[in-house]
Chains A and B, each alone.
Chain A
Amino acid sequence: MAKDPHQDAGPTGIAKTALKLTVNGQPIATKVSPSVSLLDFLRDDLKLKGAKECCSVGECGACTVMIDGQSVNACLVLAAESDGTNVETVESLSAGGQLSTVQHSFLKCGAVQCGFCIPGMVMSAEALHRAVPDATEAEVREALSGNLCRCGGYNRMFDAMRDAAGDVPHCETTAPVTGKSVGADISRLGGIERVAGTQEFLADIDLDGMAHLKLVSIDVGRARINRIETEKAMAVPGVIDVITAADLPHPMPHFGPTYRDRPVMAVDETRYHGEPVAAVVAETKEIAAYAAGLVGVDYDALPAVCTVKQALASDAHPVQDPALRPGDPMAETNILKERHFGWGDIDAVTPDLVIENTYTFPMVTHFAIEPHGFIVDATDDAMTIWSPVQHPFLLQKIMAQLFDLPLSAVRVLAPDPGGGFGGKQIPKFEPLVAFASRRTGRPCRLVLTLEETFQAVRRAAAEVTVRSGFSKEGDILFHDINSNYLIGAYADVAERVTTKGNYLGCGPYRVPNARIAARAILSNTTPSCAFRGFGTPQVNWAVEGQINAAARQLGIDGFEIRMRNVADKGDEIVQGDVPADGHWLQSVQKAADLLGWDTPKQPGRGRGIAVGIKAGATTGLSNSTVRLLADGSILVFAGTSDMGQGARTIFAQLAADALGAPYDRVKVIMGDTSIVPFDLQTSASRSTVFMGTAITRACEDIHAQVIQLASDTLGLPEDTIQVDDGNIILPSGSEPIFDFVQKKLGAWNGELIGNGRMRKPTDKDHPLGGSPAFFEFNCTAFEVEVDQATGEVLIHNHVTVGDVGKALNPLQVEMQDEGAAIMGLGHSLYEQVLLDDDGRIRNLGAIDYRIVTTKDMPEKMMTGMIENADGPGPKGSKGVSEGAILCTAPALAAAVADATGVVIKDLPLTPERVWWALQEQGAVAAQ
């Protein structure tokens, strides 16, 4: 019996089977292919997009649903297995229009950041809440440990579960607020959608006629491609196209933010494990994946350079074609760039103590719970791109250049990212998907697997050697820093990461003499890119390690040596550049106080402390348009991406207060380059400062118009009218602008439009192109205990304090800070991408790459902040969100050293590494 292949059989030709089940109370009778997972069935067939896909192997829990009342990973269940069962998805929890208790508590307690993990997390939480309504924290940690949240909302989730149980946790959000909203714990805009599972992420978008891409890559770090066999894949019913380099323009177009060195698809040679050599376009993602396995690639493995040593060896092959770097004297080497900074004269001082050490920082990957995805609908003269990109306007520019289109013909729609952390800044596969769309005449979609995402983004690994001089009293006299950052096969922004991180390599200290050499070194590995902390955690691991080493050798306490050397407001840090912009010693003191630095320590425990700073944005332009409508409601247009940091909320708060309106009357419109005005980027914790200022100025523009409006309609001279703090002040009295315009604006002309901009021009002579607009300062402290027999580190207390200027939304600041702290714990304790000798990633995917789960959370985690309203942003705010990741590792290592006496200079501090260090110490002691 002949069957239509699309109707009844999957790609492997197996007939569909009947399926009867109940989903969210609705009986369903249908047919499914036996190989389709319940997750795909729910998402693709039933269009219930609440459950998300990330790891596909049961590790992340993003796909959690309930079957017959029990939580399960829908990615591990075949749809056919659910025959006869009762399936509940997140959509059922708020079916009646009311959030469930657990959902409500999640929102209220600030447990929701990017939201991608949340539908699954809420299902696990719901299952626990039903079974054990007054669960203990240990039970909560256990119940949620199968759900990963990379934004690090765990602490807030513990609070949320207490809240759901009827306890009152320490922080609450008030929503909606009338009156002043800045400074209040306003609930997150977009929060309800995120807990309810209705927030639309990239992979949730369906377009008519959309085709699906699957990449083909080869399983080795570097290879010469001899021949690609596509016939078998093309023959699969449902395959539309198989694209290889030969099908793309010749010469192959290259792109990149600064260096245009990345080919749209590898030609002749692959340079890192996972670099695609072909792409299959098919009617469904299953068919594309199946056919991709049939593309035959004949290749010869080539030696790969994967370490600093290999890349710098005199006989190392150049990772990139030297022709890509014309005029660069180092084009034949793997050194993409070498930078030198410094001041004073390090050879002129005579220190009492000189310490020299080499520290290593591993490759780590972003592991956003939302894997990267792209959709492009392209014709010859225009294209629309959907990408959860952090910099929509940069994507627009790069695509316009690459395809020779006017900017106006390239529209970028940027759905909120499900976690970015720097990994979603720069275009990756958008160009390839655009070519596919042009060739097939269809909108094309590529959603990476988590494994492919690991191969697409990572943080630069580093080897940093530091020689430091100290006086016997503990004053820092000099640092001589030699940083080798191992970047990947293409530059992305890795060179900027290296430069910016090392420019502030000496940290937030008064250092009279410094010499810094920083190299960005190409290798046959995943292109490294921006990652929370942007190059600072690596060098700071080394330099803070030196401060801790000096403290130990000089017999000074880690806290004391910092109080002695950390710069305070106005002190110079990099000589000749802007000075310290905050009372940083206050933060150090507060961290010590929160930890109880002066209290007696229990035997076996150790404490450690460290500091870090990161340069805020140095240049750039943000524009905003604010429209005040006749009924007083407000539209704010901003080009920022809201990836969990809550930019939307802050922007709404600022506009609400500036125009005297209730917070819930503000709508923030983002993520469409054809509607919102230009914003350079969402990075470097800049949005509050840059976009926040632009919005504030746009509101000021409106204030001037409100005065005109009042003068016109009331017949008063303009100089008798003022605007202050959201109110209009008339001779007869004052009232909120919101109220005033409702009476007057309609009659006048309908709406007021304000424009605002913040621009920090480029300074050609500055090594960073401009001084930092602000610094993010953080102090982190730990109290730990180490299991001497296994090497396992148990964290009793983890404290972080940031110098935030002004917390526009204290709850969000805490959420961001904890998120960064938890991510810092990841690279301090577990995370590392491991390569074999051929450059293959050995721990690809969620099973062997460990990030922090609820059960790995410190027993106690506390966040503090110092607010002196001394930042350049609205109300004196500074950027936050990266601070707490800057010095996690050195503070933790100091605590481990304090507890055990072992000093470790390589991350992560896995149980095994700590154990080996303890063995060595034992062996030395025995001698």
Chain B
Amino acid sequence: MAEACAAWATPGRDARLLFGGTDLTVGLRHGHLTTDVVIDLKRVADLAADIGPSKGMLRVSAGTTMSALAAYLDREGLFAALRDAANVVGSIQIRNRATLAGNICNASPAADTVPVLVALGSAVEISGPHGSREVAVEEFILGNRQIDLRRGEIVSAVLIPLARQNCGCAFDRITRRRGVDLATANLCCLIDERSEVVFAFGSVAPRPLVVRSIDPVLTDPSATAHDREKTVAALCAIAAPISDVRASAGYRTAMLGVMAERALASARRRQQVGGTHG
């Protein structure tokens, strides 16, 4: 690990960190990215695939692929929303390589696991020449393809709080087709034990966008659909998506409302079923 950090910190070289390579290799191939040196983190023993509880957190080492993560969460009945998000990243071939940490570090606004990680209050554990630090995922992603990572630093794990009980959480996304596709827009809805509702939106801003509400309309089963929709729409209004080749801003905005409604409903169902994050 120290060696990798040192290699990465060597001045005068344009170096890139590589994990699954499902973003990096595409970037290099297309000439969006250039580099002199690629540091393959798969060779760093300290980062090897490893998932397990640690100090109240689920610690997912940087070497953990989406496939391994989804299988683990499924087996343990944990974080259904994260499992769902991990399961829609690319195809099986992609998920066999793509890492959770890479999905965060790549800092694409369309990353599917990021809204879930943000809603769950996750953090990244960073190791560097000067020791390690933890940063909330929400803070870590600074903008489109920009992260709070200094030269010589490596994300060594993703930490997801385990302690919270009786939460419900759901992920949803809109794509142009059902098969492998990048999200046109995606979001995660979390209802916590105090009935606070958190929405984290993806693909609608350069960095993850989070809104919180304790408006009882959202969780009260007796509230009318109309009132709930109005409140959801007001929460979604903070997003100002752009138009691009995948969709128009208008469609994205409207879909946020639709997904928010749907995710809220499944988060509530999951909360009722019980367990950690449904």
- Do A and B share a complex? yes
Given contacts A81-B42, A911-B174, contact A58 B94 (CB under 8 A): yes
Q: A494 interface residue, CB < 8 Å from B? A: no
Q: Is the CB of A34 within 8 A of B38?
A: yes
Residues of chain B lying within 8 A (CB to CB) of residue A75: 25
Chain A residue nearest in CB terms to B178:
A855
Contact check: which of B67, B182, B251, B258 meets A912 at CB < 8 Å? B251
Q: Is the CB of B93 within 8 A of A146?
A: yes
Chain A residue nearest in CB terms to B248:
A912
Q: B163 interface residue, CB < 8 Å from A? A: no
A232 to B26, CA, bound (A): 26
Contact check: which of B42, B96, B180 meets A71 at CB < 8 Å? B96
Given contacts A58-B26, A77-B21, A912-B251, contact A850 B176 (CB under 8 A): yes
Further pairs besides A80-B40, A853-B178, A855-B180: 7, Cβ < 8 Å = A14-B36, A34-B38, A58-B26, A146-B180, A843-B245, A850-B181, A853-B179
Chain A residue nearest in CB terms to B40:
A81
A113 to B76, CA, bound (A): 42
Contact check: which of A77, A127, A293 meets B92 at CB < 8 Å? A127
Q: Is the CB of B29 within 8 A of A57?
A: yes
A777 to B96, CA, bound (A): 45
Enumerate 22 A-B pairs (CB-CB under 8 Å) in ascending A order: A35-B28, A56-B29, A57-B29, A58-B22, A58-B26, A58-B91, A70-B67, A70-B96, A71-B93, A72-B96, A76-B21, A76-B97, A78-B18, A78-B40, A145-B91, A145-B92, A293-B31, A842-B245, A843-B245, A850-B177, A853-B180, A910-B176
Residues of chain B lying within 8 A (CB to CB) of residue A911: 174, 176
Q: Is the CB of A856 within 8 A of B42?
A: no
Given contacts A76-B25, A77-B21, contact A915 B251 (CB under 8 A): yes
Given contacts A58-B22, A916-B251, contact A143 B92 (CB under 8 A): yes
Given contacts A37-B25, A848-B245, A912-B247, contact A124 B93 (CB under 8 A): yes
A724 to B174, CA, bound (A): 63
Q: Is the CB of B93 within 8 A of A855?
A: no
Residues of chain B lying within 8 A (CB to CB) of residue A856: 177-179
Q: Is the CB of B92 within 8 A of A142?
A: yes
Residues of chain B lying within 8 A (CB to CB) of residue A834: 245
Q: A59 interface residue, CB < 8 Å from B? A: yes
CB-based closest 8 A-B pairs: A146-B91, A853-B179, A855-B179, A70-B96, A855-B178, A789-B258, A912-B251, A145-B179
Q: B246 interface residue, CB < 8 Å from A? A: yes
Residues of chain B lying within 8 A (CB to CB) of residue A855: 177-180
For chain A, residues 835 to 869, give those with C-beta under 8 angstroms from any C-beta of chain B: 842-843, 847-848, 850, 852-856
Residues of chain A lying within 8 A (CB to CB) of residue B38: 34, 78
Chain B residue nearest in CB terms to A842:
B245
Q: A403 interface residue, CB < 8 Å from B? A: no
Interface string of B155-178 (1 = CB under 8 A from A): 000000000000000000010111
Q: A357 interface residue, CB < 8 Å from B? A: no
Interface residues on B, range: 35 or more
Residues of chain B lying within 8 A (CB to CB) of residue A61: 91, 93
For chain B, residues 14 to 30, give those with C-beta under 8 angstroms from any C-beta of chain A: 18, 21-22, 25-26, 28-30
Residues of chain B lying within 8 A (CB to CB) of residue A848: 245-246
For chain A, residues 71 to 103, give those with C-beta under 8 angstroms from any C-beta of chain B: 71-73, 75-78, 80-81
Q: B223 interface residue, CB < 8 Å from A? A: no
Q: By CB atoms of chain A within 10 A, which of B26, B93, B255 has the most?
A: B93
Given contacts A58-B26, A77-B97, contact A830 B177 (CB under 8 A): yes
Contact check: which of A37, A70, A78, A830 meets B176 at CB < 8 Å? A830
Contact check: which of A35, A71, A72, A915 meets B254 at CB < 8 Å? A915
Q: How far is the CB of B17 from chain A (nearest CB, A)?
A: 13
Chain A residue nearest in CB terms to B34:
A12
Residues of B within 8 A of A (CB): 18, 21-22, 25-26, 28-31, 36, 38, 40, 42, 67, 90-94, 96-97, 174, 176-182, 245-248, 250-251, 254-255, 258
A75 to B28, CA, bound (A): 12
Residues of chain A lying within 8 A (CB to CB) of residue B250: 916
Chain A residue nearest in CB terms to B42:
A81
Chain B residue nearest in CB terms to A13:
B36
Q: A258 interface residue, CB < 8 Å from B? A: no
Q: Is the CB of A71 within 8 A of B31?
A: no
Given contacts A76-B25, A848-B246, contact A790 B174 (CB under 8 A): yes
Chain B residue nearest in CB terms to A83:
B43
Chain B residue nearest in CB terms to A145:
B179
Q: Is the CB of B177 within 8 A of A829?
A: yes
Q: How far is the CB of A69 from chain B (nearest CB, A)?
A: 10
A143 to B181, CA, bound (A): 15
Q: How far is the CB of B105 from chain A (nearest CB, A)?
A: 16
Residues of A within 8 A of B (CB): 14, 34-35, 37, 56-59, 61, 64, 70-73, 75-78, 80-81, 124, 127, 142-143, 145-147, 293, 789-790, 829-830, 834, 842-843, 847-848, 850, 852-856, 910-912, 915-916, 919
Residues of chain B lying within 8 A (CB to CB) of residue A850: 176-177, 181
A534 to B91, CA, bound (A): 33
A145 to B177, CA, bound (A): 11
Residues of chain B lying within 8 A (CB to CB) of residue A73: 93-94, 97
Residues of chain B lying within 8 A (CB to CB) of residue A854: 179
Q: How far is the CB of B124 from chain A (nearest CB, A)?
A: 23
Chain B residue nearest in CB terms to A913:
B251
Chain A residue nearest in CB terms to B262:
A789
Q: How far is the CB of B194 from chain A (nearest CB, A)?
A: 29
Contact check: which of A72, A80, A830 meets B93 at CB < 8 Å? A72
Residues of chain B lying within 8 A (CB to CB) of residue A71: 92-93, 96
Q: Is the CB of B177 within 8 A of A76?
A: no
Residues of chain A lying within 8 A (CB to CB) of residue B248: 912
A910 to B255, CA, bound (A): 14
A855 to B31, CA, bound (A): 31
A843 to B247, CA, bound (A): 12
Given contacts A57-B30, A58-B22, A915-B254, contact A72 B97 (CB under 8 A): yes
A61 to B255, CA, bound (A): 30
Residues of chain B lying within 8 A (CB to CB) of residue A146: 90-94, 180
A127 to B179, CA, bound (A): 19
Chain B residue nearest in CB terms to A85:
B42
Q: How far is the CB of B247 from chain A (nearest CB, A)?
A: 6
A911 to B38, CA, bound (A): 40
Residues of chain A lying within 8 A (CB to CB) of residue B18: 78, 81
Contact check: which of A78, A915, A916 meets B25 at CB < 8 Å? A78
A854 to B29, CA, bound (A): 27
Q: Is the CB of B245 within 8 A of A124?
A: no
Q: Is the CB of A76 within 8 A of B22?
A: yes
Chain B residue nearest in CB terms to A61:
B93
Residues of chain A lying within 8 A (CB to CB) of residue B182: 847
Residues of chain A lying within 8 A (CB to CB) of residue B96: 70-72
Residues of chain A lying within 8 A (CB to CB) of residue B67: 70
Residues of chain A lying within 8 A (CB to CB) of residue B94: 58, 73, 76, 146
Given contacts A61-B91, A790-B255, A848-B246, contact A76 B26 (CB under 8 A): yes
Contact check: which of B25, B92, B258 meets A790 at CB < 8 Å? B258
Q: How far is the CB of A87 from chain B (nearest CB, A)?
A: 13
Q: Is the CB of A78 within 8 A of B179?
A: no
A789 to B174, CA, bound (A): 11
A73 to B258, CA, bound (A): 34
Chain A residue nearest in CB terms to B24:
A76
A382 to B30, CA, bound (A): 38
Residues of chain B lying within 8 A (CB to CB) of residue A910: 176
A128 to B255, CA, bound (A): 34
Residues of chain A lying within 8 A (CB to CB) of residue B97: 72-73, 76-77
A57 to B96, CA, bound (A): 15
Chain A residue nearest in CB terms to B30:
A57
Chain B residue nearest in CB terms to A35:
B28
A70 to B258, CA, bound (A): 36
Residues of chain A lying within 8 A (CB to CB) of residue B179: 145, 852-856
Q: How far is the CB of B6 from chain A (nearest CB, A)?
A: 18
Residues of chain B lying within 8 A (CB to CB) of residue A35: 28
A910 to B174, CA, bound (A): 12
